[in-house]
Amino acid sequence: MAVPRENADDDVKYYKREFWSKENLKFTTPHYRLRKSAGVINKIAGDRPCDLLDVGCGPAALKDLLRENISYFGIDIAIHEHAPNLIESDFVKSPISFNGKKFDIIVAQGVFEYTGKFQEQKFAEINDLLKEHGRFVTTYVNFNHRARSIYWPYSNVQPLGDFRDSLGRIFTIEKYFPTSHNWQHSEPGRPLIQALQVPIRVPLLSHYLAVEYFFICSRGPRRSGQREPQVQHLPKWAGRAPRAHVSAGRHRRPRGHPGPSRRAPEVGPGTRR
Ligand SMILES: C[S@@+](CC[C@H](N)C(=O)[O-])C[C@H]1O[C@@H](n2cnc3c(N)ncnc32)[C@H](O)[C@@H]1O
């Protein structure tokens, strides 16, 4: 049984290579979510050459589902077949990075349920690795589901809204949508059931039945190496109380930047994905 997030900081258990080297082999055959994310990523990439980083890549099953113009790189605590495009690294111990490389697309699916108290720090590290117009695609389990099936290795359990708000503090969330709706809180397995899944958020129903959510984000203004915003104090003779002068950090938005979006548009009928 997982510990609720607010109490998790001290008690949380992070599973290590020994566990994941067996467990992540379950993800060798592309599952419903993986194929869904491949579709989302292929659409984002279009025809242009792209570098993609898969954080928590497991057996790197995503690679074979991507278009040829996407160069695939992966990081995981348990890599099975070592290759120049794969790095074995524990993100609890080390920052997420790939030899100083920057990426057009970064994906982390089925990963943030295991980041414990490091969630927002990992968001910031990923934000730093994105190229200027890069995109971050991530998934998160819907813990508001009627049957909150808690997988015991989870170290980061929270309501979906909390996850979304935290993500929105680092990135600009462009949209988010449920992967599928299922009474049992499991990924749809049978082809017919998969075919019935529609990319919409159904009022009330999604809250109780959406299995997990996809989030598509663009790079946020905050860089993890930057200092917090500075308040410039004017001398008393300058008159009125000074307004905060933001020299760096999350409050400064680049020209034309829509700013952090806590209420990102969700995919609905007529919204193309
Ligand atoms: C649920 S699996 C998802 C695998 C893959 N992303 C997919 O969707 O098929 C979680 C992945 O995160 C990796 N992982 C867990 N903890 C990690 C850590 N501390 N550092 C790096 N990778 C980790 C696991 O090895 C595993 O491959």
Answer for the pair 122, 149: CB distance below 8 angstroms, yes or no.
no
| Domain presence at residue 250 | no
Q: Which amino acid is at 190?
A: R
Residue 50: the pLDDT is 98
Residues 129 and 118: their CA atoms lie apart, in Å, by 17
| Domain presence at residue 98 | yes
Q: Using CA of residue 4, residue 137, residue 76, residue 151, what is the dihedral sign?
A: positive
- For a mutational test of ligand 1's pocket, the pick from 114, 149, 151, 179, i.e. the residue with the most ligand atoms closer than 8 A to its C-beta, is 114
Answer for the pair 93, 71: CB distance below 8 angstroms, yes or no.
no
Distance 115 CA to ligand 1 centre (A): 10
Answer for the pair 209, 201: CB distance below 8 angstroms, yes or no.
no
Residue 56: the pLDDT is 98
Answer for the pair 130, 103: CB distance below 8 angstroms, yes or no.
yes
111 lines ligand 1 (CB under 6 A): yes
| Domain presence at residue 207 | yes
Determine the structural domain holding residue 9 and report its residue range: 5-228
Q: How many structural domains compose the chain?
A: 1
| Domain presence at residue 261 | no
220 lines ligand 1 (CB under 6 A): no
List phi, psi (to 5°) of 135: -125, 145
Token pair of 105 as six digits? 């697309």
Residue 182: the pLDDT is 83
| Domain presence at residue 271 | no
Closest ligand 1 atom to 58 CA: 27
Residue nearest to atom 25 of ligand 1 (CA): 20
58 lines ligand 1 (CB under 6 A): yes
Residue 227: the pLDDT is 46
Element containing residue 212 per DSSP (H, E): strand 212-218
Residue 113: the pLDDT is 97
Residue 126: the pLDDT is 98
- Tally DSSP H helices, then E strands, for the chain: 7, 7
CA atoms lying within 13 Å on the CB side of residue 270: 1
Residue 222: the pLDDT is 66
Residue nearest to atom 20 of ligand 1 (CA): 90
| Domain presence at residue 33 | yes
| Domain presence at residue 266 | no
Low-confidence ranges of the chain (pLDDT < 70): 1-10, 188-200, 222-273
Residue 184: the pLDDT is 80
CATH number at residue 150: 3.40.50.150
